[in-house]
Structure 1
């Protein structure tokens, strides 16, 4: 396997990976020392094991003044393909949140998995071991490799639902890291003697990928997972209730650096159609091209999207055909008719239902008013549903006997959990990333801030009579875009404490990037800045015209000029 044949110099992280002995580093030794934190080389290796070293940023300044070290804590992220958990697996997460998580909560991510925040270093190994006992791994939760592979979380009984799930799991197995380091370090597995002849990573090699790599499955028509934001989007086509094949999309990615105009978000481009039996070979080939030619010098340009745009789609297609030894079949035309999450009660099959429960910003916790964590534990313990996590940070409980629907609904109400039909469409489609106090990249609030400003938008939409329109509102604490802000109708991207870039004109169906409208808008001015556009949309929109489509049709310059005149 060839890794970056044309590049002579590499970034610091590449050197760490090269010297890391297939993700071992000195993690095992560091777990037994008396430090509360890991050194930088191990911090980079730990990401591949699903662990981020963080600290409580609310306490930084106080601790610095007192001459104390940072309040170091670890975030543990599992890999849960397609977001599906057994009752036993979910209950282990729930227990670990109480035993080892300083914050006592679970966090559903936009990639359909669970993060445990606030794990101290000495509890890291027991946490990972407990997850592995119920067959949940954290290997591949983070790091420069294929991350958690996502898929529509809604259960179904049609044969094509089973086919998608089967193809997903086979693909996950093919692209997962094969190093024995994970078992050696966390599960006390037998150490494998290494030699020059032994290649622990047939796909990744010793230095893995240049940056993270994301895969997502969708069924044509339903884009609830934002399939265009993935490095490879895999769209199933259904003919006569069976999968006839997949259209592959390449080069999606949300991250950008605000100060660097050469960085940007990108939506994936349709590149080819494959039969089911060609899927794994084709996806592995695409990953191999990024492995060999992706930028290993500048990490900010190392994502797959930059390789595609630098080399060109024609070059990439030719490289694919050369490696596959066959011509690519053109992609099929795609149509979408829904993108909202699968919330509320739905029929799953005869005698069985599932319920999608809204989880504000993905945070499962108990408060005085809302006992979400407790009631979910009670329901899962008693009724044993399959637990499904969504890419919009919500949770689905499936395989519920119809006779139990009223009992479950009553338990939710008593715990203060609002059913989906009682919440506004604005709230149901809103998302925020974690940001402060734990994320080291955040420059502004997000998860803690969105609930304080969203009511302003709910009232505004109601005032103008557009509360029933699908208008997505998303917020992130930095431009990296973990809550996928760049496809939203309205997005707030953190730039500095209390100030955000205001993005408008995305597409609710996730097929268009939004545009920068105003920079560095104070948090208390966000609603007022959007108000003139909302007012114009309410009075000028065409029949069935969405908010994003209206903004694109009339152009945002009209409203920029209006704001300038009113200053």
Structure 2
């Protein structure tokens, strides 16, 4: 099945696992609080990672057993979460988890802190509540993404959601291990489209068969994929799924009658990499052409089969399909693809420019009902002082039975809201401190972080827990430089694997050592351009001194209407580095006394809280008059004091 002779230990393990049953089937009842190293590898295919409570482990004496627990992730094509499933997840997180839920950047939910002894109960409850975790992790097709907006009057969105489910079903594992291990062989009720079943089972059209004959896994075989495989579906102009970062992406193409004609096909995106290893890369997907609707399953199977057969099964850091595109080039990749799908691909259909959309706030669905987008800072659903998001979502879901869609930027949309319920739901959101999108600092609104410490075993340093303070410090620095009205995309990760997609950000912070971050600059607000590495290690205590030269340069040389990411891309990394190297700040890092070359007094900052209504009016005035909010506020206060 594979062209490589030497394979990694994981490949041998997968082949011997009896199609993902062993050794976890035996280890579930072995009395240990943890799975073996082999068990943890197979466990991933079932949607779970074994983790340690790293804060506690660091405080323990040597020789003591680590605090093991499991993270469980849902498989939710297109981000759809039935209300029954959300209630179950909320209850399971309280009873068996760490009392929080986390919305992921691939439109799923994660529960952290599940003990091994409770894992089977939790998975069974999820399945019985219209959910699943199979294929949410592991060397397999992961959760298929689609634009989350539940528009009913825009057919392209309906088609994207429909085919996210169909493609997820097409590439779902078939050998039955998931049900054997977690439900004792009980098969969950499914409603798979017959055309998907037929497409999965039929042989390919090329000289190399996409299917493996007489195998319980007709597409994957006994070794499954060389590494994880990610698919997203977009609609023209809407890049809410970060289209270019996926192994395989599709863009819905409709005709003048708004009928589905087919899809534009992109292959070869991926963001995982390793520090100090130039052989690992971040890469955007290439456009390969247009695929007619009748051929879409065959093309998807062909791409997956090509990666299955040619992907590197020896070096897991070189195993994603992006390396085939990078090593071969598009022309060779397309030629080999014809061995599996012999029909030449048509030229890609023209598309409008892609834009990032988060769908926060209230929107009409197009069928008389509404949906409301809710921001989840760093994806973590919990109750804290002044913001009781978990309680609010529980109350709304239990009372109104609203389904939801998770977004690729770890927010959520509550859907199917009848017009007469809109005010009631908004009242609950207000009661528990859920801010309107206009009241959220744009730096927070367009930021993302991975979980990192204390649960992720790959984390080098902090991410989710410190990003709020980092955003506050960046905002304070911007205000000091009279750039307080700026917004840009900031993303932070605790390691270089890129789970929060920092390499697409206008400002990306990638953990490189304890309290140190590699800085990436120049991605676009609409997530259509890769950022570039600017600084290898910036200590978190030097954040302001590291970023101040960039913001000063941006303020001085930006073009009208130019965003921070576009500015950094236009100037280039070498130019930014040269300016920063020669930059001498007028105010010291401590901001306590002026430099000798300036008699400017200390620029003290004081904060005044405004009501939401006044703040929103101030924002509108700033936009319409072309002045910063600071300028308007100071002028108004000066006028008021004169009148006094």
Question: Do Structure 1 and Structure 2 share a fold, with TM-score over 0.5?
Answer: yes
Per the alignment, residue 112 of structure 2 pairs with 117
Per the alignment, residue 174 of structure 1 pairs with 170
Deviation at 1:327, TM superposition (A): 1.1
Matched, 1:186 2:182: yes
Per the alignment, residue 452 of structure 2 pairs with 435
Which residues in structure 2 correspond to 1:33-432 (within 5 Å)? 33-65=30-62, 67-101=63-97, 103-158=98-153, 159-189=155-185, 199-240=215-256, 241-432=258-449
Deviation at 1:437, TM superposition (A): 0.6
- Measure the CA separation in 1 of the matches of 2:465 and 2:135: 28
Conservation of the 8 A alpha-carbon contact between 2:123 and 2:133: yes
SS of 2:339 mapped into structure 1? helix
Matched, 1:10 2:7: yes
- Counterparts in 2 of 1:93 and 1:239: CA distance versus 1, 3 Å: same
Deviation at 1:462, TM superposition (A): 4.2
Which residues in structure 2 correspond to 1:413-562 (within 5 Å)? 413-464=430-481, 466-562=483-579
SS of 2:365 mapped into structure 1? strand
Runs of 4+ in structure 1 over 4 Å off:
462-470
- Measure the CA separation in 2 of the matches of 1:555 and 1:486: 15
- Measure the CA separation in 1 of the matches of 2:337 and 2:458: 35
Conservation of the 8 A alpha-carbon contact between 1:210 and 1:294: yes
TM, length-normalised to structure 1: 0.95
- Measure the CA separation in 2 of the matches of 1:411 and 1:17: 48
- Measure the CA separation in 2 of the matches of 1:213 and 1:427: 30
- Measure the CA separation in 2 of the matches of 1:274 and 1:465: 50
- Measure the CA separation in 1 of the matches of 2:132 and 2:498: 25
Deviation at 1:197, TM superposition (A): 8.6
Paired residues, number: 558
Deviation at 1:564, TM superposition (A): 2.9
Q: Deviations over 1:400-451 (max 9, x none)?
A: 1122222212211221221212112211100000100100000010000101
- Measure the CA separation in 2 of the matches of 1:546 and 1:280: 40
SS of 2:338 mapped into structure 1? helix
Structure of higher CA gyration radius? 2
SS of 1:257 mapped into structure 2? coil
SS of 1:4 mapped into structure 2? coil
SS of 1:329 mapped into structure 2? coil
Deviation at 1:470, TM superposition (A): 4.3
- Measure the CA separation in 1 of the matches of 2:538 and 2:127: 45
Conservation of the 8 A alpha-carbon contact between 1:425 and 1:467: no
- Measure the CA separation in 1 of the matches of 2:180 and 2:213: 20
- Measure the CA separation in 1 of the matches of 2:479 and 2:361: 22
- Measure the CA separation in 2 of the matches of 1:368 and 1:283: 47
- Measure the CA separation in 1 of the matches of 2:506 and 2:489: 5
- Measure the CA separation in 1 of the matches of 2:157 and 2:11: 39
- Measure the CA separation in 1 of the matches of 2:422 and 2:270: 39
- Measure the CA separation in 2 of the matches of 1:350 and 1:249: 32
Deviation at 1:198, TM superposition (A): 5.0
Gaps of at least 5 residues in structure 1 are none
Moved more, 388-397 or 312-321: 312-321
TM, length-normalised to structure 2: 0.84
- Counterparts in 2 of 1:541 and 1:243: CA distance versus 1, 3 Å: farther
Deviation at 1:71, TM superposition (A): 0.3
Relative contact order higher in (CA < 8 Å, ≥ 6 apart): 1
- Measure the CA separation in 1 of the matches of 2:213 and 2:322: 34
Deviation at 1:561, TM superposition (A): 2.3
Deviation at 1:465, TM superposition (A): 5.2
- Measure the CA separation in 1 of the matches of 2:489 and 2:350: 25
Moved more, 473-482 or 54-63: 54-63
Conservation of the 8 A alpha-carbon contact between 1:148 and 1:215: yes
Q: Deviations over 1:292-335 (max 9, x none)?
A: 00000110101110122122221110122232121111223433
Note the aligned Cα RMSD (angstroms): 1.7
Conservation of the 8 A alpha-carbon contact between 2:96 and 2:115: yes
